[in-house]
Structure 1
Amino acid sequence: MEVTKLFSVKDQTVLVTGGSRGIGKMISEAFVRNGAKVYISSRDKKACDQTAAELTAFGPGQCIAIPSDLGTDAGIDHLVTSLKERESKLDVLINNSGAVWGGGFEAHTEKAWHKIMDLNVKAPFFLIKRLLEIMDRNSRIINIGSVAGCLPQPDIGTFAYDTSKAAIHHLTRVLALELAPRGITVNAIAPGFVPTKMSKQISTATGLGMDELAHGVPLQRAGRDFDMAGAAIYYASPAGAWVTGTILTVDGGQIGAASAGFSGASKL
């Protein structure tokens, strides 16, 4: 197969939750630029609408906003209903919406714990469950995890977030087994340090500047938009058709180095 076809996502219908900014926006832009129809969702209607207009201008694909708060049952219901009214088939579901809560052990109230778990774990599970009706044997599910779900992150205090990302990694493996008979693949991307609004909170928590955090990565740089986009397109294209139940760490070598015992590699 030609390389252009091997990694093609042209004419796919894609849903990216949390697609209005950060990693979700990076991934959404790549799909639009490569000819897909991309639906994005976030609870911020203004940001969602602005991003949809911005990405559609890139073409040749298009981006459509469906603002929804996926931290609530009503928000999940709104997104599912709205998408099904527009589409009879979904090729790719990318569960990217997420929240973080820092401040250390004492700051993790029950309310904070439930907020993180509802958005980071509960919402992806029930979106998958309810959208299976419009997915077929060629559909792909991509969950966005984190290196924080692979190794403990010292001095940050993001207990609920780290736990939720470990949960989404294992949920990915469980659902891959469950949905394999249907021909639906389920994989995850575990990003490392990528400059986003969320990563700025890590900078604040550690007292390290963004450049200092990037120097803690073995490849000596932060993640870029094409790093995130490339991983997602691989999973969604024919190239990733025989891959399921995997957690792809896209982190500049952070997890590999930390697992080998190199100091300083797991400071993100």
Structure 2
Amino acid sequence: MTLKPFPQQTVLITGASRGIGAAIAERFAREGMNIVVHYRQSHEEANQVARRCLAYGANVITVTADLRSREQLIRMREKLEKHGMLPEILVNNAGIAHYGLFSDVTESEWDDVMNVNLKGTFLCTQVFMEEMVRLKYGRIINVSSVWGISGASCEVVYSTAKGGINALTKALAKELAPSGITVNAVAPGVVHTDMMAQFNEEEKAAIKNEIPAGRFGEPDEIASLVYFLALPESGYISGQVISPNGGWIT
């Protein structure tokens, strides 16, 4: 089967209603690509992202699904197939954070973080990689975290989930390489997103002082790296966990 030229390919971004996910959707939209904006509950926010993508001339569709449910993901896949928008590029961005002492973590909290971050990445990848294998081409990019590399006090559950995504990335890259599919992870440091709302200004200032670049990252900077990894000419980059963090963790 003839592969579409890059600007005509489809990119699915999970958790694209805000923050890094929204920035990624808009970065691809600037190239006029087919954009799938996934969300779970933030319907209006997802529509706002879709409208911004449409303004760039992209073809856009919004889809909703609970990534913890294989059944919902299969229904989402069927909808995209009906619209001729099965993705050649999958960006597993959706995730939730947890902040607190490990001794206080409940089993329910542990399950929620693992199910959204790690199980969601597993299920979404498994559901959508079939078409990539058939095409002998694809890009799978997982949005992880610097905490998945170094770990963080009071963010043990989140760090564990993201560390799992990093391991999944490395192992799956080896498995899918013969099929022409690359699998990489982007593990951002501190970025200006809603997740920073859990920290007060004093805590933010203390973190910023630890970062050699002297500032937090911006969602657009993360989106640019994701875009680069999705390019056809990035086909020899696979199994890598790349951490844009201002020199904080090396």
- TM-score between the two structures when normalised by the length of structure 2: 0.90
Q: Provide Cα deviations, 1:19-43, integer angstroms capped at 9, x if missing partner.
A: 1101111111100012211101111
Show the counterpart of 2:232.
238
Structure 1 gap segments, 5+ residues each = 1-7, 257-268
Query: Are the aligned partners of 1:88 and 1:134 in contact in 2 as well (CA < 8 Å)?
Result: no
Query: Are the aligned partners of 1:20 and 1:41 in contact in 2 as well (CA < 8 Å)?
Result: yes
Counterpart selection for 1:120 from 117, 122, 132: 117
Show the counterpart of 2:247.
253
SS at match of 1:52: helix
Residue type at the aligned position of 1:23:
I
Alignment of 1:29-68 (within 5 A): 29-43=26-40, 44-57=42-55, 59-68=56-65
SS at match of 2:243: strand
Q: Provide Cα deviations, 1:144-167, integer angstroms capped at 9, x if missing partner.
A: 00000011213xx12211100000
Query: Are the aligned partners of 2:192 and 2:219 in contact in 1 as well (CA < 8 Å)?
Result: no
Alignment of 1:1-268 (within 5 A): 9-43=6-40, 44-57=42-55, 59-87=56-84, 89-135=86-132, 136-154=135-153, 157-201=154-198, 203-204=199-200, 208-256=202-250
SS at match of 1:173: helix
Q: Provide Cα deviations, 1:85-143, integer angstroms capped at 9, x if missing partner.
A: 22364210000000112222233111111111111111111211111222222310000
How many angstroms apart in 2 are the aligned matches of 1:82 and 1:16? 15
Show the counterpart of 1:260.
none
How many angstroms apart in 2 are the aligned matches of 1:81 and 1:121? 23
Query: Are the aligned partners of 1:200 and 1:210 in contact in 2 as well (CA < 8 Å)?
Result: no
Query: Are the aligned partners of 2:26 and 2:52 in contact in 1 as well (CA < 8 Å)?
Result: no
Query: Are the aligned partners of 2:70 and 2:123 in contact in 1 as well (CA < 8 Å)?
Result: no
How many angstroms apart in 1 are the aligned matches of 2:107 and 2:236? 40
Query: Are the aligned partners of 2:67 and 2:124 in contact in 1 as well (CA < 8 Å)?
Result: no
Residue type at the aligned position of 2:215:
R
Q: Provide Cα deviations, 1:36-59, integer angstroms capped at 9, x if missing partner.
A: 1110111122222222122212x1
SS at match of 1:208: helix
Structure 2 gap segments, 5+ residues each = none
Residue type at the aligned position of 2:43:
K
How many angstroms apart in 1 are the aligned matches of 2:236 and 2:188? 22
SS at match of 1:14: strand
How many angstroms apart in 1 are the aligned matches of 2:71 and 2:130? 19
- TM-score between the two structures when normalised by the length of structure 1: 0.85
Query: Are the aligned partners of 1:80 and 1:127 in contact in 2 as well (CA < 8 Å)?
Result: no
Residue 208 and residue 137 in structure 1: after superposition, are their counterparts in 2 closer, same or farther (change >3 A)?
farther
Residue type at the aligned position of 2:8:
D
Query: Are the aligned partners of 2:67 and 2:73 in contact in 1 as well (CA < 8 Å)?
Result: yes
How many angstroms apart in 1 are the aligned matches of 2:186 and 2:60? 22
Query: Are the aligned partners of 2:68 and 2:123 in contact in 1 as well (CA < 8 Å)?
Result: no
Query: Are the aligned partners of 1:41 and 1:65 in contact in 2 as well (CA < 8 Å)?
Result: yes
Query: Are the aligned partners of 2:80 and 2:86 in contact in 1 as well (CA < 8 Å)?
Result: no
How many angstroms apart in 1 are the aligned matches of 2:47 and 2:186? 26
Residue type at the aligned position of 1:22:
G
Aligned length: 243
RMSD: 1.8
How many angstroms apart in 2 are the aligned matches of 1:76 and 1:107? 32
Residue 101 and residue 168 in structure 1: after superposition, are their counterparts in 2 closer, same or farther (change >3 A)?
same
* 1:209 positional shift: 4.5
SS at match of 1:113: helix
* 1:208 positional shift: 3.2
